[in-house]
Amino acid sequence: MNEHNRGINMRRRTLSAILLAACLLIPFASAANPGVNTEVDTTGTPISSITTPQVSSDGVDFTIEVVLTEEAAGNGTVVLWEVQQCINTGVCYPPELLEMTENDSVWSYTLVPIPTHTYINYEIDLNYSDNTSEVFPEGGFIVGGKVWSDCWVSGTESGGDACPTDDVVAMEGGIPGPGLLIVAGGLALAAVISRRD
Number of domains in the chain: 2
Average pLDDT, the chain: 79
The number of residues in the chain equals 197
pLDDT digits (tens, 9 = 90+) for 138-153: 988 889 999 999 999 9
Residue 187 is assigned to a structural domain of this protein: yes
Q: What are phi and psi of 41, to 5 degrees?
A: -75, 115
Q: Are residues 158 and 189 in the same domain?
A: no
pLDDT digits (tens, 9 = 90+) for 77-94: 999 999 999 999 999 999
We report the CATH number of the domain holding residue 89 as 2.60.40.10
pTM of the predicted model as reported, rounded to 2 decimal places: 0.69
Q: Are residues 114 and 186 in the same domain?
A: no
What pLDDT is stored for residue 22 in this prediction? 43
pLDDT band, very low/low/confident/very high, at 4 (cuts 50, 70, 90): low
Residue 7 or residue 81, greater confidence: 81
Q: Are residues 13 and 106 in the same domain?
A: no
What pLDDT is stored for residue 163 in this prediction? 84
Q: Are residues 55 and 126 in the same domain?
A: yes
**Alpha carbon distance 179, 197 (integer Å):** 28
Residue 2 has pLDDT above 80, yes or no: no
- Residue range of the domain that includes 78: 47-163
Q: Are residues 77 and 154 in the same domain?
A: yes
Over pLDDT 90: what percentage of the chain?
A: 55
Residue 192 or residue 58, greater confidence: 58
Q: Are residues 61 and 158 in the same domain?
A: yes
Worst-scoring range by mean pLDDT, 62-71, 107-116, 180-189?
A: 180-189
Question: Strand 78-87 and strand 101-103: pairing?
Answer: unpaired
Q: What are phi and psi of 175, to 5 degrees?
A: -115, 120
Residue 37 is assigned to a structural domain of this protein: no
**Alpha carbon distance 108, 43 (integer Å):** 20
